[in-house]
Amino acid sequence: MTKNKLKVSTKTPNSLEKQGKILSIIKDHPEGIYPKTISLYSKINLNTIKSTLTKLKSKGIVTLKNGIRGLYLLVENDPHGSLFDWKFHNANLSSIIPDYCGETMDETVDFGLVRYDFSIGKDSKQATMRVITDYPINISAIFSCFAYFSLFVNKYTGYTPKLEETTLSSIEFNQDYVNLRFDGVKCITLTSLLNQFKVYEKENCVRVEYKTTIPIQAEAIASLLNNQTPYLSLIGTVREIKQSQEKSNKNINQIHGILSAILDKFNKNNPRYIQCKKNSSNEFKSADQYSH
């Protein structure tokens, strides 16, 4: 009999790599995905996928969508997904430089996938940088765009604009849902005073897009990105409270129904209740005879 036998981990680098691949595929399918489809994309054995999903489900990493058997999706802290899942393209950054006394300036820097068109108006004293991208880039890159804008302004004016002095306009925020297709209509557009909402079909995905129609302070977006964790935590707390309240109300209604049934059954077997019911019936009969 051996004592103090060492425990050997069964998680090999290969199994961890498979788990990572499975999670990556599930993340690309926020509408939910079946094990057979995961196997098709990943080339991983179906039984391996099923056992991995069972373990991930027990750890709370994945869950069944709406309780549908076999349809898995990632467990998210935020019901609407992380802010960093969103991308953007084609944005305008602008700031007023009150002390600018120079001429109108224009400069373009083209990196191929991303182009920056910068200008300063002689009369308007407004510095503007247009960010033009062929493909959407992660929302966190807004900080890089602001840094580049600040370098441009400082180069021509010697002044470095602050976040609260800079606005963003005509920016398009979007999120893609891979392998999700429309059946019928290919685009839905809603326009309001504040933004334009659009859902449309791309080559291999469906894209949700918000385009701002009024300028937004860069500071507001930076604050939103920097402080998203408390915000998401608050959403989760509110959701838990609401679920607990709904569950409590359901339990109270069930208890009320049981008590009502017990009370009714007790009253029916109670002699005083039967006599009282007979007296009430006789009173109604007497009143009926008197009316005739």
Residues in contact with 254: Cβ distance below 8 Å, sequence separation at least 6, in sequence order: none
**Predicted pLDDT of residue 31:** 81
pLDDT tens digits, one per residue of 25-79: 888 888 889 999 999 988 999 999 999 999 888 877 888 887 778 889 887 644 4
CB 54 within 8 A of CB 47: no
Residues in contact with 11: Cβ distance below 8 Å, sequence separation at least 6, in sequence order: none
CATH topology for 16-74 is: Arc Repressor Mutant, subunit A (1.10.10)
**Predicted pLDDT of residue 13:** 54
Find, among 233, 232, 238, the residue nearest to 85 by Cα: 232
pLDDT tens digits, one per residue of 163-175: 889 999 888 888 8
Q: What is the pLDDT along the chain (292 residues), one digit of tens a residue?
A: 444 444 444 445 577 778 888 988 888 888 889 999 999 988 999 999 999 999 888 877 888 887 778 889 887 644 445 566 788 888 999 999 988 999 999 999 998 889 999 999 999 999 999 999 888 888 888 888 999 999 999 999 999 999 889 999 888 888 887 666 777 777 888 777 667 888 888 877 788 888 887 888 888 887 777 654 433 444 444 455 556 666 666 767 777 777 777 767 666 666 655 555 555 555 544 444 444 4
Domain boundaries of the chain, sorted by first residue: 16-74, 83-227
**Predicted pLDDT of residue 231:** 39
